[in-house]
Amino acid sequence: MILRPASLVGACLITLAMLTLSAGAAPAENRLTLQRAIEAALAGNPELKSFQFRFRASDALRSQAALRPPVEVGLEAENILGSGAYKSVDTAETTLALSHVLELGGKREARIGLADASRGVLEADLRARQLDVLTEVTRRFIDVAEKQERLRLTRLARGLVERTVSESQKRVTAARSPHVELDRANIAQDRAVLDERRAEAELTAARRQLAATWGAQDFLIGGVSYDFVDADLYAVPRIGETEELQARVAANPDFLRYASEKRLRESELRVAATTRRPDVTFSAGVRRFEETGDHAVVASFSVPLFSKRRSAPFADQARANLDLTIAQQEMATLRARATLLELHTLLKHAVNEVETLKGRTLPSMQEALQETEYAYKRGRYSYLELVDAQREYVAIQDSLIDAGTDAHLLQAEIERLTSAPLSPTTDLRSQP
The predicted-structure confidence for 149-159, as pLDDT tens digits, reads as follows 999 999 999 99
Average pLDDT over residues 230-240: 80
Average pLDDT over residues 240-263: 74
Question: Which pLDDT does position 427 carry in this prediction?
Answer: 28
The predicted-structure confidence for 276-294, as pLDDT tens digits, reads as follows 777 788 888 888 887 777 8
At residue 247, does pLDDT exceed 70?
A: yes
**Whose CA is closest to 131, among 4, 12, 230, 219?**
12
> In this structure, what DSSP letter does residue 69 have?
P
Q: How many residues does the chain have?
A: 432
Question: Which pLDDT does position 215 carry in this prediction?
Answer: 81
Average pLDDT over residues 30-45: 86
Share of the chain above pLDDT 70, in %: 89
Annotate 22-46 with DSSP letters as a single string. PTTSS-GGGEEPHHHHHHHHHHH-H
Q: Which residues of 54-68 are buried (b: 16+ CB within 10 A; e: fewer)?
A: eeeebeebbeebeee
CA–centroid distance for 257 within its chain: 14
- pLDDT bin (cut points 50, 70, 90) of residue 330 is confident
Average pLDDT over residues 267-282: 79
The predicted-structure confidence for 92-149, as pLDDT tens digits, reads as follows 788 888 888 888 888 888 888 888 888 888 888 888 888 888 888 999 999 999 999 9
Share of the chain above pLDDT 90, in %: 21
| CB-based contact 80:93 (threshold 8 Å) | no
Distance, CA of 229 to CA of 34 (rounded, Å): 8
Which range, 16-20, 90-94, 252-256, 340-344, has the best average confidence (pLDDT)? 340-344
Average pLDDT over residues 208-222: 83
Question: Which pLDDT does position 29 carry in this prediction?
Answer: 55
Of the candidate ranges 96-100, 309-313, 322-326, 406-410, the one whose mean pLDDT is the lowest: 309-313
Question: Which pLDDT does position 23 carry in this prediction?
Answer: 34
What is 6-418's CATH number, 3.10.20.30, 2.60.40.1120, 1.10.3720.10, 1.20.1600.10? 1.20.1600.10
Angle (CA) 143-146-148 rounded to 5° is 110
Give 217's contacts (C-beta < 8 A, 6+ positions apart).
Answer: 208, 211
